[in-house]
């Protein structure tokens, strides 16, 4: 049998019409493997398949690149037995992976979710993955200050010590909408909610002696600006989705201010951006955006990879005592946007947030 010479633009033949005597193995089955592989290879390299090969290689390189820039979770020996962790938005995406890893390391994890049904499903999945996981569901709607207060009261009563709070929940893709409490919905969920919850839990965090607060922000904060009036739906103009960008910028500014205020208490506060991760974060966008997001998903991090920077801030021993920092998706301390570096702006935002949440009056 002689192999056909390499033809740069020949296509992979779908059927083989060689005489069976020529193309059969000892077992009598057609010996298509070597031939077909050869044809497939020549067709792919030389024909339009080269586009496919290039795309596959590109995907592979991007994935390897993501992997090479990730902190090695397996090398971290932090044991969380006896510790209590609260993760908001724990029923999907990054929050679910983070919760699972914390539970795997022995922590008692409270999944803070707004939907009992989705929360219970996540809880069942995490429990199925690690049988000894000690996880509980806590219901909280972070866009509602009343709901946060009820949740925080329950937590403080049940858990006098909280060692880790991950402010992960967020929404994006919503137009300007006011909540019944008079807050702008996206700002309420992404900024006011974490602000209020963290402050209400301060007693339990400080009692833990050594505790961490991890705020999940976004690189898109670079496209935001700080205007306190946005919190109530007023303020400067916002382009499409800029309420999300601005709310994340406020969260970063809050991180710095809270860290300054908690100096010497044993509670550290840092924020991190996970990179571009293929999760349900775009679920409120139009089908076109969701379609494009899905199309690009091959090049994006998956939730497990997206959770690594958040886990780094939650677990890494070398971060003991490190506070008020912004970490990029490669777990490197980076300067946040200028507006979030300004302590005067941060203090003013803090005061406005205290007024809006009545933090000074009731708690």
Ligand X SMILES: NC(=O)c1ccc[n+]([C@@H]2O[C@H](COP(=O)([O-])OP(=O)(O)OC[C@H]3O[C@@H](n4cnc5c(N)ncnc54)[C@H](OP(=O)(O)O)[C@@H]3O)[C@@H](O)[C@H]2O)c1
Catalytic annotation, residues = 245
Q: Indicate the residue among 256 and 275 with the shorter CB distance to ligand X.
A: 275
The least CB distance from residue 66 to ligand X, in Å, is 12
The least CB distance from residue 35 to ligand X, in Å, is 45
Q: Which residues contact 106 (CB under 8 A, 6 or more apart)?
A: 79, 80, 81, 82, 83, 134
- Cα 76 to chain centroid distance, Å, stands at 19
The least CB distance from residue 99 to ligand X, in Å, is 10
Q: Indicate the residue among 168 and 199 with the shorter CB distance to ligand X.
A: 168
Please name every residue paired with 269 in a beta bridge, in sequence order, or none if there are none: 213
Both tokens assigned to 273: 């951006």
Q: Which of 55, 37, 48 is nearest to 8 (CA)?
A: 48
Q: Residue numbers of the site for ligand X (CB under 6 A)?
A: 88-89, 91-95, 113-115, 118, 140-143, 168-171, 189, 216, 218, 273-274, 276-277, 279-281
Q: Indicate the residue among 162 and 172 with the shorter CB distance to ligand X.
A: 172
DSSP string, 227-279: -GGGGGT-SS---TTHHHHHHHHHHHHHHHHHHHHTTTTTEEEEEE---SB-S
C-alpha dihedral sign at 107, 84, 157, 357:
negative
Q: Which of 106, 109, 105, 103 is nearest to 84 (CA)?
A: 109
Q: Indicate the residue among 96 and 105 with the shorter CB distance to ligand X.
A: 96
Q: Which residues contact 330 (CB under 8 A, 6 or more apart)?
A: 69, 70, 309
Sheet holding 211-216, edge to edge: 134-139, 108-113, 84-88, 164-167, 211-216, 267-272, 326-327, 333-334
The least CB distance from residue 93 to ligand X, in Å, is 2
DSSP string, 144-198: -HHHHHHHHHHHHHH-S---EEEE-----SPPS-B-TTS-BHHHIIIIIHHHHHH
Residue nearest to ligand X (CB): 93
The least CB distance from residue 271 to ligand X, in Å, is 10
Q: Indicate the residue among 43 and 271 with the shorter CB distance to ligand X.
A: 271
Q: Indicate the residue among 57 and 292 with the shorter CB distance to ligand X.
A: 292
The least CB distance from residue 263 to ligand X, in Å, is 26
With contact defined as beta carbons under 8 Å apart, do 250 and 187 qualify?
A: yes
């Amino acid at each position: 049998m002689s192999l056909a010479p390499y033809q740069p633009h020949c296509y992979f033949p779908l059927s083989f019409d060689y005489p069976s005597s020529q193309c059969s193995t000892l077992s009598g089955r057609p010996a298509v493997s070597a031939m077909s592989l050869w044809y497939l290879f020549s067709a792919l390299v030389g024909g339009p398949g080269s586009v496919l090969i290039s795309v596959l290689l590109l995907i592979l390189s991007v994935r390897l690149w993501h992997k090479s820039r990730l902190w090695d979770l397996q090398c971290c020996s932090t044991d969380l037995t006896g510790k209590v962790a609260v993760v908001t938005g724990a029923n999907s995406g990054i929050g679910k992976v983070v919760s699972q890893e914390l539970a795997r390391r022995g922590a008692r994890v409270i999944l803070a979710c707004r939907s009992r049904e989705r929360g219970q499903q996540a809880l069942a999945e995490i429990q199925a993955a690690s049988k000894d996981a000690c996880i509980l569901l806590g219901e909280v709607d972070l866009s509602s200050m009343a709901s946060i207060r009820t949740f925080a009261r329950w937590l403080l009563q049940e858990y006098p010590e909280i060692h880790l709070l991950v402010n992960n929940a967020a929404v994006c893709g919503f137009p300007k909408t006011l909540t019944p409490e008079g807050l702008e919905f996206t700002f309420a969920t992404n900024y006011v909610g974490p602000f209020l919850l963290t402050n209400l839990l301060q007693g339990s965090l400080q009692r833990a002696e050594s505790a961490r607060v991890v705020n999940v922000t976004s690189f898109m904060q670079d496209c935001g600006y700080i205007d306190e009036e946005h919190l109530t739906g007023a303020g400067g103009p916002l382009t499409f989705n800029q309420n999300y960008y601005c709310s994340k910028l406020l969260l970063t500014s809050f991180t710095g201010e809270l860290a300054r205020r908690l100096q010497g208490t044993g509670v550290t506060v840092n924020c991190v951006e996970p990179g571009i991760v293929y999760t349900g974060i775009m679920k409120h966008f139009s089908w076109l955006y969701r379609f494009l997001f899905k199309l690009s998903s091959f090049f994006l991090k998956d939730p497990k990879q997206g959770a690594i920077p958040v886990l780094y801030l939650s677990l890494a021993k070398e971060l003991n005592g490190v506070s008020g920092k912004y970490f990029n998706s490669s777990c490197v301390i980076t300067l946040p946007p200028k507006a979030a570096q300004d302590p005067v702006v941060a203090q003013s935002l803090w005061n406005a947030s205290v007024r809006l949440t009545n933090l000074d009056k009731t708690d």
